[in-house]
Structure 1
Amino acid sequence: MASSAPPPAAGGLAEPAHPNQFALLGQRRFAPFFWTQFAGAANDNLFKFAFTVMVTYQLQVAWLPSSLAGLVIGALFILPFLLFSATSGQLADRWDKTRLMRLVKNLEIAIMLIAAWGFVQSQVPVLLLCTFLMGLHSTLFGPVKFAYLPQVLNERELTGGNGMVEMGTFVAILLGQVAGGLLVAVPGVGPSWVALGCVGVALLGRGVVQFIPAAPATDPGLKINWNPFTETVRNLRLARQSPVVFRSLLGISWMWFFGAVFLSQFPSFAKDVLHGDEQVASLLLVVFSVGIGVGSLLCELLSRRHVEIGLVPLGAIGMSVFAVDLYFASRGLPASAPQGLATFVAQGAHWRVLADLALLSLFAGLYSVPMYALIQLRSQPTHRARIIAANNILNALFMIASAVLAGALLALGCSIAQVFLFVGLANAVVATYIFLLVPEYLLRFVSWGLSRFIYRFRVQGDQHLPTQGAAVLACNHVSFIDAVLLMAASPRPIYFLMDHRIFRLPVLGTLFRLARAIPIAPQKEDPVAYEAAFDRAAQVLREGDLLAIFPEGGITRDGQLQPFKGGIVKILQRAHEDGLAPPVIPMALTNLWGSFFSRIELRGGEPAAMVRPFRRGVFNRVGLNVGPALSPEGLSPELLRAQVAQLLAPASAPT
């Protein structure tokens, strides 16, 4: 599948390079958008939580029992995501995104003015209507939010930008709920203060959105289909056109399923299992939100500022491990009278529970942010917002399913801790299934781990790696894991043309088959396989993907750069016949010779690899130097070899 990448910035806003994701908060293309999203998420939760507390503790409404209030409010808020996400995705592709965000914020002010009257007059039906309308507000904002980021951030900024938005959203949710609970509880004037707070935050969001620069429509000629049902089906079909994107949507929706189970059960978990009061329930929410925020921010650091989906399996593993441990940490707690916050945190057994929650949510942040970034990067810009709308539809369905499943398990007599255990184990099964369906996640996880925990891998010149379109990557061949290291260096998938004998290795062979590497045999040995390999290589370039070759034709036996064979010329000739002129990117792996996966001279024998595991210690420094693209016109093996040799020259001495 061809990969697309966004331009550095939209609307002509060329921004300088920045050291990390926090520097985005000083740039106009990101900061006003971040605070607009922050204010919207805070207001949603200020309103919903204050309303829930009011009908639970302050008003007696016969037709809305307090035990059902939270469920009804939550269902009304989610319902618009099911009904109108498809329409909102079309609007975000059809219109200038900044214009749409301003209209949505105008709508928020109108809704909050109605809600203010409902709070002051204690009109529950009016507030229920506003709950539905605020869900509509969030439905309209969701697709434009995630489609805006890849339009103004480049590939190296996308993970950090998503991490900042994810962190900000959960902090805003936390602050909104805390503010809603505190304001509505003020004796005598609580509802009035909530009304002022909701309108004030809406006005603040509308003021900030005015500073977001223009983000032109990506499909201005789109004809809007106002039928939400047929458009929902169409959006889901559109998402299914790319298996990687669609299965990533399912992966994100599963994360919301997973998280919704925990968030919905926090009050009961705090009361019935941990024997804590309302402050303890709030503490669980704080810990969960902080964990999500920290995990989201860690993504940029761990991914070296690329879209690194290798973090997704790591996140899934952590989610399962700490969900299961939460069951064991909480099942043996002795019964007691309701404990306040100070009493609760003074007991050592409770710190394990809090640590499990913090780490569980941290790994959920590591899981979700790269998936969002991948969807944004791999979706075609013309219908990116509709893909995000399909994601919102699936998210809503999965969250409803989570409520049904949790309710069924509790009705069958399971404890809340057992529900957490079940979801933790189910997460392991679902994650394994997704990673087998989309091996790219597993491959990236292996390459990410190898390049950080076995080697200290440094890439220089990675700005020369093309972010879109077909290209041929030509690299020296030093070890059996060269392909894995190249995977770690590129944010895009790479298809490798590799010696057929490497597929016979027990573990690496399986890995390369998962990576859909193309086996090639010498023409004299197997002419059919030889031609089939070049046919497949030509197909990769026609589809706009990256093709990597090792022109030496085999792993070096003495650490020196060997002569390049003529396969590169044949690949470029086939591309020319197809009307293509893919650039050739010279690359050089450095300081890898003599490591465990490379050959080494043995006394009295042939050079051998994968012997003496610690012959160079641990965390070896290795590198990859990437050179500027070469034109395929007139490129010879000798000229390409000279370019690779030049990239090797500065690193010829051990580092």
Structure 2
Amino acid sequence: MNDRPIPAVEDASREHDGHAPHSQFALLRERRFAPFFWTQFLGAMNDNVFKIGFTSLVTYQAARFSGVDPKTVAFLISAIFIAPFVLFSATSGQVADKYDKATLMRWVKTFEIAVMLIGATGFWLHSVMLLYACTFLMGVHSTVFGPVKYAYLPQKLRADELVGGNGLVEMGTFVAILVGTILGGVAAGLGATDTAAAGVALNGVAQNGGAPAGAVWLGGICITVALVGRVASTFVPPCAPSQPGLAINWNPFSETWRNLRLARGNRTVFLSLLGISWLWFVGATFLASFFNFAKDVLSADPDVVTVLLAMFSLGIGIGSLLCERLSRRRIEIGLVPLGSIGMSVFGIDLFFASHAVPAASHLLTVGEFLRVGEHWRVLADLFLLAMFGGFYSVPLYALIQSRSEPSHRARIIAANNILNSFFMIVSALMAMALSKAGVGIPGIFLTTALLNIVVAGYIYALVPEFLLRFLAWVLVRTVYRIKLLNVGRIPSEGPAVLVCNHVSYVDAIVIMAESPRPIRFVMDYRIFRHPLFGWVFRHAKAIPIAPAHEDPAMLDAAYDACAAALAEGDLVCIFPEGKLTRTGDINPFRHGVTEILRRSPVAVVPMALRGLWGSMFSREADSEQPQDRRRGLTSRLTLVVGEPFAPGEATLDGLQAAVAALRGTRR
């Protein structure tokens, strides 16, 4: 066994200084993350303070703002805010790739102060045109900041921190939306003559009629938050440009089309972008319906909208934070199908829960609302729907960041913003069309949940990797309880051959679930005839292999496929025994692995599975060893990874000895 590790292979389960990995919350104490987090948090909060406050004032104090239709102002404000995402996302993606991202954050936050001065003036003068201009400029602010934000993370976080960092950002964004919504509603309500009408709205649906004091408070809060955000951005460390020599195309239309084509270059990334945009479609549909849902379905006053939004935000936040624990600090795209399943299940249940709500003779206050048991089912559905939305979104964002080329990562994020905006517009049009057709809010929720099933099925059919990782993730967390030893020795990039003992029919699925990267498995051609495992391994792009005496052509094709996969920088895993063990002991290794290495001299990583022998998916034990059978619903097992062999140093005997030593005495 080779005692020297390959320098390029790093144990991702450890810190660079050799200490154990810390909690994702520890990032909030580090300069590379904390100033960035608070900068983006305050920006998201300010967006909502302004939009909610503006909408509240112009809806209930329309007489002070000439030329405003209170019935349509909410939709108009949302449209004005979204417009810059459609127009300028492509340009902002180029800017984020060309310049230092920390410097860009400071520019954007300085711009925000100027914009909020315009907004404060609009509030003071009751000038709707100034406030519309401020809304548009805040949209520009968010459009420019988006690509900077998501391109900054993969440059400053390690691979094992990316999921946790994204989870914190997603959680922070929704908490910021909630805090901003409450602050905007309270500030607009200060000095109101009819305090009974006070409340909080969502996506620009208003609360109460604010007095001039409300306008003054709104302007002051927006300017203060912008100033604090600018101070926070000062502490963001430098972040080198990804492509400093990029020549910016200032034509937003041609560049938008170019960005979308760029995103389509990586099929998995592009479909992940569509998946995130679909989440915005679902989220926008639910969030935009909250006010009417509270009033017309729940018979509740506007204050209850805050409760609904709080449950939704709490769900997203907890789901986002749980992703790191559920994925073991890796980008676990198996959580995406789990998320989509939960979103549909609880979206559908929300439809039935809405019909179980008892009628009320008046609009319920928050206290009255919470005293009705049926309402808690509604709140639980909203919380769980949002929590599964967190499971869905965080891995997709991390996947896009990790698999996009660093040189144009920000432009990929810009393409995501373009698609998000388009999907949000379509969601609004769908909701309006269904409403005009007489479909109520619960019916809109049901339609969206059912559409989510269709869209998810379509995406997983196009990219089976999502579904395969989900099946593998479920297997190793239900049927098996797995312990990992030195899994960070699997290379995080570049080609390598993995060799492992062959104990059960699900060896490959277990390894697939615990690998930080996709793996091309070399499998006996007969397993492809199995109705379940055949489907799994065909879609996992496994390589069928046959003995030379049975099908020499298939054998040669398998070696060619392995060479091609390694040439593309993939991981290839082979079980050199060539067949499942019938005793739990390791069978003699065959020469297939040495033939692969002869054609492609790459690093070889020995691995061993312990504890799978005797589980429900292993072969029947020989009659002489019945004591080895440990059938049951769950089994404890261990995946242990050994020191890599350098190219050219791996011999058949050496590899078998290494795997046997890793397995030890436990089968």
TM range (shorter): over 0.9
- CA shift for structure 1 position 247: 0.3
- CA shift for structure 1 position 154: 1.3
Q: 1:529 aligns with which of 525, 538, 554?
A: 554
Counterpart code for 1:597: F
Counterpart code for 1:392: N
- Separation in 1 of the partners of 2:9 and 2:343? 30
Counterpart code for 1:646: A
- Separation in 2 of the partners of 1:31 and 1:223? 32
What is aligned with 2:240? 216
Question: Aligned to 1:189, what secondary structure does the other structure show?
Answer: helix
Equivalent residues, number: 635
Which residues of 2 match residues 175-190 of structure 1 at below 5 A?
175-187=179-191, 188-190=212-214
What is aligned with 1:147? 151
- CA shift for structure 1 position 6: 12
Which residues of 2 match residues 469-484 of structure 1 at below 5 A?
469-484=494-509
Does 179-188 or 513-522 show the bigger shift? 179-188
What is aligned with 1:53? 56
Q: 1:400 aligns with which of 407, 421, 425?
A: 425
Deviation track 1:366-397 (CA, whole Å, cap 9, x = no partner) reads 11111101111111111111111100000000
What is aligned with 1:108? 112
Is the Cα–Cα contact under 8 Å of residues 332 and 395 in structure 2 kept in the other structure?
A: yes
Q: 1:77 aligns with which of 56, 59, 81?
A: 81
- Separation in 2 of the partners of 1:557 and 1:16? 41
Q: 2:220 aligns with which of 167, 175, 196?
A: 196
Q: 1:41 aligns with which of 39, 44, 47?
A: 44
- Separation in 2 of the partners of 1:205 and 1:287? 26
What is aligned with 1:497? 522
- CA shift for structure 1 position 603: 4.3
- Separation in 1 of the partners of 2:313 and 2:269? 27
Counterpart code for 1:136: V
User: Structure 1 length as normaliser, TM-score?
Assistant: 0.94
Q: 2:363 aligns with which of 330, 338, 345?
A: 338
Cα pair distance change 1:590/1:101, threshold 3 Å: same
Cα pair distance change 1:369/1:205, threshold 3 Å: same
Cα pair distance change 1:364/1:334, threshold 3 Å: same
Structure 1 gaps of 5+ residues are: 576-580
Deviation track 1:296-355 (CA, whole Å, cap 9, x = no partner) reads 011011111111010010100000000000000112433321111111110111111111
Q: 1:370 aligns with which of 395, 403, 409?
A: 395
Cα pair distance change 1:7/1:227, threshold 3 Å: farther
Which residues of 2 match residues 250-265 of structure 1 at below 5 A?
250-265=274-289
- CA shift for structure 1 position 128: 0.4
Cα pair distance change 1:483/1:436, threshold 3 Å: same
Counterpart code for 1:103: W
What is aligned with 1:323? 347
Counterpart code for 1:442: L
Q: 1:593 aligns with which of 613, 628, 633?
A: 613
- CA shift for structure 1 position 59: 3.0
Is the Cα–Cα contact under 8 Å of residues 5 and 154 in structure 1 kept in the other structure?
A: no
Is the Cα–Cα contact under 8 Å of residues 5 and 377 in structure 1 kept in the other structure?
A: no
Question: Aligned to 1:67, what secondary structure does the other structure show?
Answer: coil
Q: 2:135 aligns with which of 125, 131, 134?
A: 131
- CA shift for structure 1 position 5: 12
Question: Aligned to 2:72, what secondary structure does the other structure show?
Answer: helix
Cα pair distance change 1:130/1:464, threshold 3 Å: same
Structure 2 gaps of 5+ residues are: 1-7, 192-211
Cα pair distance change 1:6/1:323, threshold 3 Å: farther
Which residues of 2 match residues 546-561 of structure 1 at below 5 A?
546-561=571-586
User: Structure 2 length as normaliser, TM-score?
Assistant: 0.93
Does 167-176 or 502-511 show the bigger shift? 502-511
Identity %: 56
- CA shift for structure 1 position 602: 5.3
Is the Cα–Cα contact under 8 Å of residues 5 and 155 in structure 1 kept in the other structure?
A: no
- CA shift for structure 1 position 623: 1.1
- Separation in 2 of the partners of 1:177 and 1:333? 26
Q: 1:512 aligns with which of 516, 537, 558?
A: 537
Question: Aligned to 1:215, what secondary structure does the other structure show?
Answer: coil
Deviation track 1:58-95 (CA, whole Å, cap 9, x = no partner) reads 23245221111110110011000000000111111111
Is the Cα–Cα contact under 8 Å of residues 10 and 489 in structure 2 kept in the other structure?
A: no
Which residues of 2 match residues 86-485 of structure 1 at below 5 A?
86-187=90-191, 188-336=212-360, 337-485=362-510
* CA RMSD after TM alignment: 2.0
